Chain A
Amino acid sequence: MTEQSGIIKVRTTCPMHCGIEACGWLVSVNKKTGRAIKIEPGEFMDPSERRICLRGLSQLDYTYHPDRIKTPLKRVGRRGEGKFESISWEEALDIIEKNFKEIAEKYGWRALGWVLGGVGAGSTKFGVYLRLASLTKSTRVSAWGYGDSGLPCGSRIIFGSQIPYGQLMHRLIDPPDPDLIVVWGCNPGEAAPLRWFRPIMDIKERSGTKMVTIDPRFTVTASKSDAYLGLRPGTDTALALSLLNIIFKNGYQKNDYIRKYTNGPYLVRLDTKKFLRGKDISDSKSKADRYVIIDHEKNEPKILRGSTKSAALTGIYTVNGIECKTALQLLMDLADELPPEKGSEITGVSAELITKLAHAIGKAKTTTFCINMGFTRTYHGHTSLRAMGTIAAITGNVRAEVGKGRNFPVLNWDPFLKAKPDERSYHRLGILNMYDAIEKGDPFPIKAVWFALTNFVNQCANSGKIVNTLFNNLDFIVTVDTFLTDTCKWSDLVLPTTSILEFSDFIPHPYPYVCIQQKVIEPLYESKSDVNIASAVAERLGFGEYFQGGEDGMIDLLLDTDHLSMDGITRESIIANGCFQLLNPIPESMETMPFPMRTPSKKIEIYSDFDYLIEAGEELPYYKAALDSPIKNIAEGFPLTFIQGHTRFRTHSMFGNVDSLLKMNPEPLLDMHPRDAEDRGLKNNDMVVMYNGLGNAILKLRVNEGIVPGTVNLSEGWWLKDFKDGGVNFVTHDIVNPVQDKIYEPNMSMNSAFVEVKKYKEEI
């Protein structure tokens, strides 16, 4: 904090849920009025790390927006009507206590669901609700399925990790620079410009690295690339298999790497599709579960014990009367079925471009695959991730060993996840599973919902079903927000929370730092931080003792860990250092540690033999069309694929009401290729209806060469107020992929929606 002529300057951290860029901010506050008057980028250690975005710069318009909710609100009209009366916090807490206790008595505590949206870069604002869920043994409704669980579902299978950034993208941070960067199905130039796109541009500039973008849209990222592959949404797996086809045909695969770090050499039984195990060929109990390889020098099977150095990578073998192939052979057989000409038919990308990219990846010494959630927000998105990851693995481009660097922060989450030290006490539901829980009581009924850090109606699949069916089945809805969103309008009780300038939190980002988000100004109006709201509710439910110390107390609790990553790092030390602090380095002795792959084999699993994957025909990343799914039943007559790119003008739905940003981006626009527009007699700027059997959205058309024909795009996050009728998610479905349900939790496949578009005619 620095002081000068009546102005205090406070260094803080932006916790917004963008690309989790965790920018540093320096906020000027008028000492006399207590009003924040300016935000500028704050320093880290190196001036090149100084950064802010257009939304960050607009934060004061958000904080001091005239539409801020000022007091707790109690619904007086019908749900959805938006009529409320102002009440005191005491009254609000009375209503919460009464309803929670009634519902708990009638249905049990697990009928109360805490629907917690994006935590962003923050921690305790989310943690306190988990703590309440733990203490009351109610239900945590996970936010991954909002559209972000396709990636972990795929990553869990192939890498055994939640998010494979560390495996795939380390070369964007750690030298040496890669020879080739493949941006696959994401748009960091707009969605993660500061932490990801800057390094990509730096690497291009510094090392002349070539860059390729694969995306249904010609984005800003594509515009900076040396080649662009405009594929049809959801066909990433077909593209990947065609690339593998050429990679294998030319022998580009890195055999030593495959042997050492993947399960490619392991034998797979052709009858059961399971891995051949010691027990299949030997009576030895101690070897029963071990994998089996073929020793290529002796040409005989060997029960694996340690090194795979001598393992054969390909071939068909009969072992103890059982027909087997190596996992790599099975992958090669699969890739063999998709030559580039066939891949081209499916993806829309020319066979020539596919071939050239395969050669480029094959010949590059190192390739970095840059990914995010976009291409996994499809019905088979987990498979797309696996297929892309398989290319990275086969070509030796997955980080397999820990290099020099710093520890990732390991925090003390136990007090939040467990009511008692040895007991995990909340129930867990994926957000997409909650639909059935509310509608059908499956797997158990949810009767009351607490929404925080989310605009559920706006951002979740099948908005029509949410407002017409789900909400009718709920006895009690509470929403915590800064603005009266559409979710608030359907709630019985609305609680005003603070903007990000009005509370403190711990920010376990941006690597290699951890930061503190400092409270810059006092909470406006009667708003309270999420921590203080949760504490007040806890007090009423008899758990006040668990929330001592407010925001600072919760931060200290989270940092109370003996993990060496956080040794010596405290709230006070971070603030004293300027609100950011470097994480502790990885000890010298750990430099050659294998990068942890938490798969059953502890290797990169290019083949997986989980029973549910075999049952679903997904032991390898087979290409399946989006319509090769129950979506087919609702897609007939709706030939266009609808996708939702992310925009720089909002962070999901946040900032959707900020005038300074709306001025540059005043209304929703539907991107359509000129050929599709011509087929429908539509012109640029026409008002159109995008519709299917679920609902519609009425908006303006933007005829755009930069989108693959047969697909339309509308950026996610527009508020319902911005449409003549309907909205973004009135045309998306809530169909669950049962495989994802088994792996982790099902994803909303927002980019596997099917629509038709026609000219809007005003009804008179």
Chain B
Amino acid sequence: MGSQYGLIFNLERCIGCEACTVACKIENNFITDTIQVKTLNTINKDTPTGSFLQGNLRMEFQPHTCNHCEDPPCVEACSFNALIQRDDGIVVLNQDNCTGCQTCVTACPYGAIHFNKDSNIAEKCNLCSHRIDQGLEPFCVICCEGQAIYFGDWNTPQGKFAVKDRKDELYVRNPEFNTKPKIKYLPLKKPRGL
């Protein structure tokens, strides 16, 4: 059985710092934010939901990036072979083949492909396939301040990626899109009170 690589974002440990956003751009020479850290359920970044006076404030961060879907609509949409799905499951955008038609940008239901207006080509997370091929982890993983990003192989999950105690809580964003994402999330734990 081959590898099927993916990431787990442990939102219990995500501090919303956006080091991943910066790291991704540096590693890949991107201009767009190919990882975007959202503060859930609020219009203002870094602010909580709920009510101060009622004592039910909550704030949860959720990094968004390419989901490396098992059934990737972007690969199907691209007529120029710029987007391919590797045998190890990584959906790679080869910028040399990109014509800037932006069909993939529209095709991705997650909005994970971004258009670089300066270079007129698309940009997206390639899971640092160039690093994985050298036996290294994706750059965002080693730069994550909260150590909240786990890299691994869904076929043989090991170490933190095996999520021994919280396996049932793993979820993907918008499963109704039916693209079978390989980027999964562990939610922020509920406060236990005093």
Contacts and interface: CB of A to CB of B under 8 A. Distances in A.
Interface string A184-215: 00000110011001100100010000101000
Contact of A220 (B16, B50, B194): B16
A40 to B, nearest CB: 7
A660 B22 contact: yes
B52 A705 contact: yes
A406 interface: no
A350 B56 CA distance: 13
B47 A704 contact: yes
A592 interface: no
A470 B191 CA distance: 50
Interface residues of B, number: 39
Contact of A40 (B15, B47, B139): B139
21 contacts: A41-B142, A54-B22, A193-B15, A198-B147, A201-B146, A205-B13, A222-B59, A223-B48, A223-B60, A226-B192, A226-B194, A359-B194, A360-B194, A660-B25, A675-B53, A703-B44, A705-B49, A705-B50, A705-B52, A706-B57, A709-B52
Main SS at interface, chain A: mixed
Interface string A363-376: 00000000000000
A664 interface: yes
B193 A190 contact: no
Contact of A227 (B43, B44, B53, B193): B193
A673 interface: yes
Given A222-B59, A684-B43, A705-B57, 4 more contacts: A38-B26, A218-B48, A225-B191, A706-B59
A224 B12 contact: yes
Main SS at interface, chain B: loop
Nearest to A201: B13
Interface stretch (A45-53, A99-107, A474-482, A500-508): A45-53
A63 to B, nearest CB: 13
A95 interface: no
Contacts of B59: 218, 220, 222-223, 706
B57 A189 contact: no
Interface string A338-351: 00000000000010
Contacts of A145: none
A228 B194 CA distance: 10
B70 interface: no
Interface of B: 12-13, 15-19, 21-23, 25-26, 43-44, 46-53, 55, 57-61, 139, 142-143, 145-147, 188, 191-194
A222 B57 contact: yes
Contact of A706 (B52, B145, B188, B192): B52
Contacts of A708: 52
A357 B194 contact: yes
Contacts of B145: 51-54, 193-194, 198
B143 A353 contact: no
Contact of B191 (A58, A201, A227, A357): A227
B22 A356 contact: no
Interface string A312-354: 0000000000000000000000000000000000000010010
A87 interface: no
Nearest to A649: B18
The 3 closest A-B pairs by CB, nearest first: A223-B59, A356-B194, A54-B19
Nearest to A60: B26
B30 to A, nearest CB: 11
Interface in A210-265: 210, 212, 218, 220, 222-228, 230
A198 B49 CA distance: 24
Contacts of A704: 44, 47-48
B58 to A, nearest CB: 7
